[in-house]
Amino acid sequence: MTSDDVVAAAVPDTITISGTRSTSHRPLGEYRRMFAEYLAPFAGPGRRFYIGGASGVDSLTLLWLASETRAELVVVVPGAMDGQPADARDAVAVARGRLRELVELAHPAHPSAEAYHHRNRWMVDRSEFVIGFPRADVAGGGTWYTLDYAAEHGKPRLVLPV
């Protein structure tokens, strides 16, 4: 076994991305640099990312992963894709050829916090690792809900405040 084998064995195969919908407080280039630094090491061939199909970090990470990596991409929405914001639908359309799957959970209470929490639990339950991008200046919210849920289930997390 080489050191490359040890590193490959330590990288999780399935990863959930969770993040704020509010991203306009930073330039796009900062997100791209952050993704290159913190997502790229996890985004090798055979790795699968579960990404929500919402605005903000969901759309930004989807577009970056689709254009910069060969990782498998699964977009998960709490209702149907046509019920998502226009920018999120556009991001999914751009990345469509790179998607392994689009999962529409058809939650009966969509749109609601309950529906988004259901979606996030669904993604975490299928992942070995969670990467969260919460707003640095906001306590609570869906990203922290997701990170806490992962912690309750013993899943490692990487928190990258934005």
Whether 86 maps to a domain, the answer reads: yes
> pLDDT digits over 113-162, tens only?
999 999 999 999 999 999 999 999 888 889 999 999 999 999 999 999 99
Q: How sure is the predictor about 11, in pLDDT bands with cuts at 50, 70 and 90?
A: confident
Higher pLDDT among residues 27 and 11, named by residue: 27
pLDDT above 60: residue 84: yes
Whether 2 maps to a domain, the answer reads: no
Read off the pTM. Answer: 0.92
Q: How sure is the predictor about 9, in pLDDT bands with cuts at 50, 70 and 90?
A: low
Mean pLDDT of the chain: 93
What CATH number is attached to the domain comprising 140?
A: 3.40.50.450
Whether 89 maps to a domain, the answer reads: yes
User: Is 27 buried (19+), middle (13-18) or exposed (0-12) by CB count in 10 A?
Assistant: exposed
Whether 22 maps to a domain, the answer reads: yes
The whole-angstrom separation of Cα 63 and Cα 125 is: 23
Whether 136 maps to a domain, the answer reads: yes
**What range does the domain containing 124 cover?**
17-38+47-159
Number of domains in the chain: 1
Whether 5 maps to a domain, the answer reads: no
